[in-house]
Structure 1
Amino acid sequence: MAETEYLTADDLKRIKTTFRDIDGNGDGRLSKHELKRACKTMGVRVNTEHMATMMKKMDECGKDFLTFKEFDSFMRDLLEAQAVEDQYLKNVFASMDENGDGYATSEEIAKALNIPPETALELLRDADKNGDGKVSYKEFAELYRNKVE
């Protein structure tokens, strides 16, 4: 198992272990239901559209299961996409967090995005779940992912 640019040897091992653990009857296949459980077990964020596309591909092939090879490819794609998205969000957040304190204020957001202060304040209110008047990376990422999904 070779590491990739975004996936570690542990990630690749987890794919194999998850497949084995979820494949309850040991037939070397995952049903659609098992695939959903596997994604949840792996902690992979799968949007409805991506899952529907995978299910459609399974149906087009005339089968209602994934082999390990198909599951491995699917999970690698999802994990890599998730890693790329995470890095992107970290970079965007870092560009807003001008003073590097781990939070973005409405002033920093306005400046980074070149938007009016009122618009930045609205964005901050949408993201600020704990009401501290600033946005942490976690709050920012959650807002982004909820808007995208």
Structure 2
Amino acid sequence: MELPKEARDAIKKTYRAMDENGDGRVSVAEVRRASKRIGIEFSMDQIKQMMGELDDNGDGYINYPEFERMITEFIHEDTEEVNAARKIFQSMDVDGDGKVTIPEIVSSLNVSKAEAKELLEEADTNKDGKMSFEEFLNVYRGHTG
């Protein structure tokens, strides 16, 4: 999957920020410091495990091609998930207005009105009585409220 130039540039910028000493490879220590800067605390064992999965050439570091591959795969997986969720949402959005209502949930999922109301209340974070695709996607991914 070919990424747009803006995405490739952002990946390069992120990699350069992680590669603190500019040697063209990211070490365990650099990954740990980068994760702390964004507020994520990984143990050394967790970082070593992640790096082991990314380090294709076995040198103990993450080079740019390894980093770019990981990010590209993540973006591709995310895109597939969003596309699958969109198909489900569209099948529920009977009138095609971009919002799912209680009657649409009842008819598309074959559930009771009470069950549909409960599902909608879980997803409807802006409390407009309808479920947008973004709200549905959050529930689909397991994030609510």
Aligned-residue CA RMSD in angstroms? 3.0
1:102-143 C-alpha deviation (Å, 9 max, x unpaired) = 110121122222233322221111101122211111111112
Pick the aligned partner of 1:146 from 137, 142, 145. Answer: 142
TM-score normalised by length of structure 2: 0.73
Change (3 A) 1:127 1:115: same
Q: Which has the higher contact order (CA 8 A, sep 6+)?
A: 1
SS of match in other structure, 1:25: coil
Rounded to whole Å, the distance in 1 between the matches of 2:130 and 2:124 is 6
The equivalent of 1:119 in structure 2 is 115
By how many angstroms is 1:53 displaced?
6.1
Map 1:42-61 onto structure 2 (within 5 A): 54-55=50-51, 57=53, 61=58
What is the deviation of 1:35? 6.2
Alignment partner of 2:68: what SS?
A: helix
After the TM superposition, which residues 1-149 of structure 1 pair with which residues of structure 2 at under 5 Å, given as runs?
A: 4=1, 7-30=3-26, 31-33=30-32, 36=35, 54-55=50-51, 57=53, 61=58, 63=60, 65-147=61-143
Q: 1:52 to 1:124 in 2, by over 3 A?
A: farther
Query: Are 1:23 and 1:34, in contact at CA under 8 Å, matched by a contact in 2?
Result: no
- How many residues were matched structurally? 131
Larger radius of gyration: 2
In 2, Cα distance between equivalents of 1:24 and 1:97:
48
Deviation at 1:97, TM superposition (A): 0.9
Q: 1:23, 1:88 → 2: CA distance?
A: 35
| Structure 1 residue 99: Cα displacement | 0.8
Give secondary structure in 1 for the equivalent of 2:85.
Answer: helix
Where do 5+ consecutive residues of structure 2 fail to align? 39-46
Confirm or deny: 8 A CA contact 1:28 1:68 kept in the other structure.
Answer: yes
Give yes or no for contact 2:18–2:31 (8 Å, CA) kept in 1: no
Distance 2:71 2:119 in 1: 33
